[in-house]
Chains A and B, each alone.
Chain A
């Protein structure tokens, strides 16, 4: 027997859940769940709540040129060194671009990795996959996002999802292959929750956390009860999958209805002065939200600085005069200042709240950019050498790992590959890579990442 409103509806004799669904009854119980939980989700969320550090990854979609930012070559010829000048930092002997003056003051807390490289395709998507999963692309064996790995192995610390992406997933960056920000073989229960809206917008709200139009919370609760009754029917014919799904549903309803989980996304709770310190723009406010989410139990937050490279000001400095017409002007007037403000605000804010010891910050990108300026004064994709950096947790700041040659064309010493950066992030989070396993494709246990951490980051 099912209760729908005040009416009792008998099921067809011998009816199963599937047959009930076929006549559309499930549509009556239909509820818009957060995207990362689907009706097919059968993942089991580990409730062990292990004590590992958190991680905030800032993903610089489009990818800054290393010679114009954090690996400058002021002695190189003009068509290589580019327009910008280096400035000294708080670390003697370390220079970075003049347009990062705030970051220059805190370089003693940052570890630069200047000798990153890989030799497979120079597409945005390939770089995204390398730096988000630690793996090269294999269409038959797609790999999960780091945040999904953490969610699978360690579960959540609270009612918030273990892995969240702000503000949007990566969309069109040129190819239709995955961006490395999915749950992959771990299943849809481990897809990161994607915010889906701009936290700097005056009318910002989290789409999937808003009670559907026309619905009161009483009706939402009523639908929850209906779904529960449907699943009770299903339990008669099915077993573990329904019970496991309940965990996912429980989390979805908690997100929709509990004030404290909604509050995690409420930036109006922050002082205007702090919001200004991060910068009143999409990236700055996303960084601020990342801090809030970490404070309230999310283990892994990824901030995509952009969701495309076409038709917007972003790091993809091809200067092509068309849809990829980012130039030095974008770097100078928009991108470098916004990054400088937001990154240092996040570092300082975490430190002031006593969270920096327990939070690893990773600033990653897809690749570097060609050492020689192109005919239009821009730079193109270049995975043979690039710079990313880490801070927080046990990461020892004030150091530079590796170097490139005189024109930034190739690693000169200590070459580093993307899986080593991922391994370093996991180690910084406190994960024992030798003993911690993940259920891999087909369920066989695999290492989280098949690479060794960069030990110089820790000693």
Chain B
């Protein structure tokens, strides 16, 4: 029987300059966490949210940056020809925070 991930994980973010600190995750599914970074509305990077709670994106090119915490929502193991998930995907589990460079 396949696992079914219930509930919705949640975290809160605090911004200090360009450094973003996340809270502990409630209803943590245990799947991979990642930071998603956008600049001027376009995704420019995703990176594993490791054990350190604070993350600072190194890019300082001018623009409006938005950072959000995401977790992988496993739905089923269906994949495309390249072996990548088709229905399981990352979802936002925090509100985004933004800063301008």
Chain A interface residues (CB < 8 Å from chain B): 99, 101-102, 105, 168, 198, 200-202, 272-273, 276-284, 307-308, 311-313, 319, 321, 325-330, 332-334, 337-338, 341-342, 376-377
Contact = CB atoms under 8 A, between A and B. Distances in A.
A328 B29 contact: no
Contacts of B76: 313
Chain A CB within 10 Å, residue with most, of B51, B76, B83, B85? B83
B64 interface: no
A276 B31 CA distance: 12
B61 interface: no
Given A102-B51, A319-B83, A325-B79, A334 B31 contact: yes
A31 B9 CA distance: 41
Interface of B: 1-7, 9, 24-33, 50-51, 72, 74, 76-77, 79, 81, 83-85, 88
B6 A200 contact: yes
A280 B83 contact: no
A341 B6 contact: no
Given A101-B50, A101-B51, A313-B74, A283 B79 contact: no
B1 A168 contact: yes
A357 to B, nearest CB: 26
Given A276-B24, A279-B30, A198 B1 contact: yes
B30 A284 contact: yes
Contacts of B84: 327, 329
A202 B6 contact: yes
A325 B83 CA distance: 8
Nearest to B26: A276
A279 B51 contact: no
B28 A276 contact: yes
Contacts of A168: 1
Contacts of A272: 26
14 contacts: A101-B50, A102-B51, A276-B25, A280-B5, A313-B2, A313-B77, A332-B32, A333-B72, A333-B74, A333-B85, A334-B31, A337-B72, A338-B29, A341-B30
Given A308-B1, A321-B81, A334 B72 contact: yes
Contact of B85 (A277, A329, A376): A329
Chain A CB within 10 Å, residue with most, of B32, B50, B84? B32
Nearest to A98: B48
Nearest to B5: A281
Given A325-B77, A329-B83, A334-B32, 7 more contacts: A200-B4, A308-B1, A312-B3, A313-B76, A319-B83, A329-B85, A333-B72
